[in-house]
Structure 1
Amino acid sequence: MFVFFTLLQLAVAAVLAYVRFEACDAMYDLTAVQIDGCDERIPCYVTIGQNVSITLYFHADYLYQNLDQDAWMDINDVVSPAEVSPEKCQTNYNCSAVSTMDTITSLTGVVTVPDDIPTSVRGFMHWLTESEGQPLLCFSVRVATQRIEQKRLRDLFNLYKYDTEEVPSSDNEKLVNP
């Protein structure tokens, strides 16, 4: 039962985590970016060849109907295009744009991390959403690439909480020095 609740807490924490990003000059005010498997820690680990769901939260006075989304990876100054789904979409048809009463809007897309980039290196993932050539949303986030085996090991390691304090807290000191 304890294991179930621990896994449930980890799943909820992963779902609610936002990444640190750098917004570009665009029409909409980007407020948060959520990338599956990433949190506020830098870098965000992305797995080569895997699909990654990305949700953007932003303020918009006007929501354009036709959206064109692009993503690319910049690793060691080598740019590799990433496949985005849906690449072109129309709101209220095949686009996952959701508007709320307080004008916070979200847009979700899926990026496929390219197979032709090196593993275990750091770089940037860039995202651009535009309509008729007008940049609406734009951001970059620091990423590190990994193979599926590395992801599995990282996931196992992250199931455990380690005390990384240089000076143990009083709770941990009792465990170390009973």
Structure 2
Amino acid sequence: MSCFSLLSSYNIKLHNAHCSVNSDSDPFVIPGFMPQKIEITRSQLPGTFVPLPDLDDYREKMHEAEISSYGIVVNSYEELEQGCAQEYEKVMNKRVYCIVRFGDEKKIGMLVKKSRVVEVIEMCMEGGVDGEKRRCRAKELGNLATKALEVDEGSSYFNISCLIRDIMKHQSA
């Protein structure tokens, strides 16, 4: 789950924004500090917003664990989160460690339909201004991902180092 997703869910719950609309298909704006104005419908919300009495006890335990935790590890990198990591850190009053883990793709496996792969490649390779914009954005994201993993300079490397240091400090206290 990304910092954007966590922050969005936090703000929606805090302000009960999903209760401000009459139907599951009516859009509402995600409140609080967000990098952009985002509209969403109740039908697009994650399962945690669906009331299920059988899961209330489990959800309460999750909330208690979240409150009592020392920090939050997120599978992301700060360069792509556009301020969401810092804002989520602020509202939760906990350290957020954005750490990217690569290498499990082959073990886990990913299923993408051939038609979707062809469609995406064609979109990236098309000529004109739109195709050029897509190629530039893809290159930019690739550079950000590479930079996040660089030793001594990348946010992911920095955050894993901070996490290890903070855990060691916390255990010795």
TM bucket (normalised to shorter chain) is: under 0.3
Q: Which has the higher contact order (CA 8 A, sep 6+)?
A: 1
1 or 2, which has the higher strand percentage?
A: 1
Normalising by structure 2, what TM-score? 0.22
Normalising by structure 1, what TM-score? 0.21
